[in-house]
């Protein structure tokens, strides 16, 4: 994201982790096998295959029995092999990149709604533009990811980068304003929102996420948190005076993409320190915040900076995050490194397709229940009004008949009793 750095200190620890710290695989190596190179990919895959054949160390005291330990070990092996297989599948599918891109470019809001439960498109509240919200800690690479997404679908390959990226921690304040990016830039089908970083204050993070998910997001809006202090607020407010963000359209968030730095996750797996532990706690609490999920659909996760890691470590990070966050590492965690190759572009297209499909799947229904209640209320009101009118008319007619009858009863036939005053 804006203000995050993509330069990381090198990690040289070669200590093996025990079972509690996940797989006893090597730490970050100086060689970083990328999926764009068949030779490097095979080297990394062979490294992992060899390590999987080795033991996983002794049984940790946390396990109740060797049987439980063996079951957990086998489950991790299964997920690990599936992650490695997913890299193989991407290599095979990269020749279909253009088809994947066309599929995303042809998207319009509501196009991928599933007609279930007797519902169809007119029964849903379909937005003008589908909005994907990026959430993640500082240095996770959200702004860099925006640029990479935009570049994949950009017709002009020489166009400048759209999102501001800071490359050193000591410079810049990072993203403080919500930034909307249409993909591609002259389309209106869907957009990606770059957001300020999650910080060390959990309550601030939850409040910020709740506001976005309940109130929507608006391009250019300043995001201020209580923990940042009033002096920063005054400074940023001065910058905001000339930004007419209040006139921009507020968009409802339709799906969430979590962006996580793979290097920091790996350091936490290998023991790390308080900073890495707090990092994992921060992303876990934010990810499990109920506001970011849509029904049973949790956000997708993008791991970045995988180009600084070996293939073994990248797979290791995905498996660890899958267990930590309760999502499938092969289906819902996408590895998007800072590399320019067909496999990375295909991964971006797959990630967007997944996000847009689930955004459509969870579009809110139109408020047909209230509409039905309104119609019933109007019908009942008209019926009661008609009954009241009929009752009033009936009462009036009854009253008129009664008066007429009384008048008839009081009428004296003077001709019939004329003998009373005339005499015989």
Closest CA to 359 of 114, 186, 178, 180: 114
Q: Supply the pLDDT for residue 271.
A: 87
Q: Which two tokens stand for residue 277?
A: 């532990």
Phi-psi group of 326: left, alpha or beta (phi > 0 → left; psi -120 to 50 → alpha; rest → beta): left
Give the contacts of 361 (CB within 8 A, at least 6 positions apart). 112, 113, 114, 297
Q: Supply the pLDDT for residue 165.
A: 82
Integer-rounded Cα radius of gyration of the chain: 34
Task: Find the range with the poorest average confidence among 134-148, 149-163, 256-270, 362-376.
Answer: 362-376
Q: Which two tokens stand for residue 42?
A: 């095979």
Tell whether the model's pLDDT for residue 92 goes beyond 80.
yes
Task: Find the range with the poorest average confidence among 168-177, 345-354, 358-367.
Answer: 168-177
Q: Write the pLDDT tens digit of every residue in 291-342.
A: 999 988 999 999 999 999 999 999 999 999 999 999 999 999 999 999 889 9
Predicted model pTM:
0.73
Report d(CA 198, CA 200) in Å as an integer: 7
Angstrom distances, CA of residue 41 to CA of 35, 44, 47 = 6, 5, 10
Tell whether the model's pLDDT for residue 107 goes beyond 70.
yes
- Residue 159 Cα to chain centre, angstroms: 28
Calculate the average pLDDT of the chain.
Answer: 78
Tell whether the model's pLDDT for residue 73 goes beyond 60.
yes
Task: Find the range with the poorest average confidence among 53-67, 225-239, 244-258, 408-422.
Answer: 53-67
Q: Which two tokens stand for residue 252?
A: 């409802």
Q: Is 286 helix (H, G, I), strand (E, B) or coil?
A: helix
Q: Supply the pLDDT for residue 23.
A: 37
Q: Write the pLDDT tens digit of every residue in 135-172.
A: 999 889 999 999 999 999 987 777 888 888 876 554 44
Q: Supply the pLDDT for residue 159.
A: 81
Report d(CA 199, CA 194) in Å as an integer: 15
DSSP state of 330: T
Tell whether the model's pLDDT for residue 252 goes beyond 90.
yes
Percent over 70 (pLDDT), the chain: 70
Average pLDDT over residues 386-413: 71
Answer for the pair 293, 299: CB distance below 8 angstroms, yes or no.
yes
Average pLDDT over residues 284-292: 94
Tell whether the model's pLDDT for residue 373 goes beyond 50.
no
Tell whether the model's pLDDT for residue 56 goes beyond 70.
no
The residue with greater pLDDT, 179 or 172, is 179
pLDDT range class, residue 354, cuts 50, 70, 90: very high
Q: Supply the pLDDT for residue 25.
A: 38
Q: Which two tokens stand for residue 31?
A: 């060689």
Report d(CA 245, CA 242) in Å as an integer: 9
Closest CA to 193 of 201, 203, 183: 183
Q: Which two tokens stand for residue 13?
A: 């620890």
List helix spans (H) across 160-310. 202-215, 230-240, 262-269, 274-287
Report d(CA 138, CA 123) in Å as an integer: 40
Task: Find the range with the poorest average confidence among 10-14, 72-76, 219-223, 388-392.
Answer: 10-14
Q: Supply the pLDDT for residue 163.
A: 85
Report long-range pairs for 102-111 (Cβ below 8 Å, ≥24 apart).
103/349, 103/353, 104/153, 104/349, 104/352, 104/353, 104/356, 105/153, 105/184, 105/187, 107/189, 107/190, 107/356, 108/189, 109/189, 109/190, 109/360, 110/360, 110/363, 111/360
Neighbours of 299 (CB within 10 A): 25
Complete edge-to-edge strand list for the sheet that includes strand 130-135: 179-183, 190-194, 130-135, 255-261, 300-304, 333-335
- With b for 16 or more beta-carbon neighbours within 10 A and e for fewer, the 78-109 pattern comes to ebbebbbebbeebbebbeebeebbebbeebeb
pLDDT range class, residue 17, cuts 50, 70, 90: very low
Report d(CA 286, CA 58) in Å as an integer: 34
């Amino acid at each position: 994201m804006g203000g995050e750095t993509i330069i990381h200190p090198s990690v040289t620890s070669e200590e093996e982790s025990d079972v509690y710290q996940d797989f006893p695989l090597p730490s970050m190596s100086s060689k970083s096998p990328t999926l764009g190179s068949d030779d490097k990919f095979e080297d990394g895959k062979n490294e992992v295959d060899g390590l999987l054949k080795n033991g996983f160390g002794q049984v940790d005291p946390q396990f109740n029995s060797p049987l439980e330990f063996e079951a957990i070990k086998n489950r991790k092996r299964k997920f690990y092999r599936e992650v490695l297989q997913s890299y193989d599948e991407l290599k095979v599918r990269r020749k279909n990149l253009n088809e994947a891109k066309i599929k995303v470019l042809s998207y319009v809001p509501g196009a991928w709604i599933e007609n279930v439960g007797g519902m169809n498109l007119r029964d849903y509240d379909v937005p003008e533009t589908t909005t994907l919200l990026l959430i993640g800690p500082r240095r996770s690479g959200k702004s860099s990811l925006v640029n990479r997404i935009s570049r994949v679908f950009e017709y002009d390959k020489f166009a400048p980068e759209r999102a501001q990226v800071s490359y050193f921690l000591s410079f810049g304040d990072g993203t403080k304003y919500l930034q909307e990016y249409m993909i591609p830039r002259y389309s209106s089908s869907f957009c990606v929102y770059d957001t300020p970083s999650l910080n060390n204050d959990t309550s601030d993070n939850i409040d910020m996420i709740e506001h976005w998910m309940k109130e929507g997001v608006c391009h250019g809006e300043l995001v201020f948190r209580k923990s940042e202090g009033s002096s920063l607020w005054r400074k940023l407010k001065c910058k905001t005076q000339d930004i007419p963000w209040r006139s921009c359209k507020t968009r409802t968030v339709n799906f969430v993409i979590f962006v996580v730095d793979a290097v920091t996750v790996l350091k936490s797996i290998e023991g790390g320190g308080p900073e890495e532990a707090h990092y994992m706690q921060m992303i876990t609490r934010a990810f499990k915040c109920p506001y970011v999920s849509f029904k049973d659909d949790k956000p997708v996760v993008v791991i970045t900076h995988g180009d600084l890691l070996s293939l073994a470590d990248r797979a290791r990070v995905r498996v660890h995050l899958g267990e930590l966050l309760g999502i499938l590492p092969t289906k819902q965690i996408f590895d998007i490194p800072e590399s320019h190759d067909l496999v990375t572009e295909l991964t971006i297209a797959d990630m967007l397709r997944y996000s847009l499909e689930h955004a459509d799947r969870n579009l809110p229904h139109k408020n047909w229940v209230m509409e039905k209640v309104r119609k019933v209320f109007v019908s009942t009101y008209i019926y009661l009004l008609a009954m009241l009118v009929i009752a009033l008319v009936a009462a009036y007619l009854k009253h008129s008949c009664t008066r007429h009858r009384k008048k008839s009863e009081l009428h004296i036939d003077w001709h019939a009793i004329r003998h009373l005053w005339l005499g015989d």
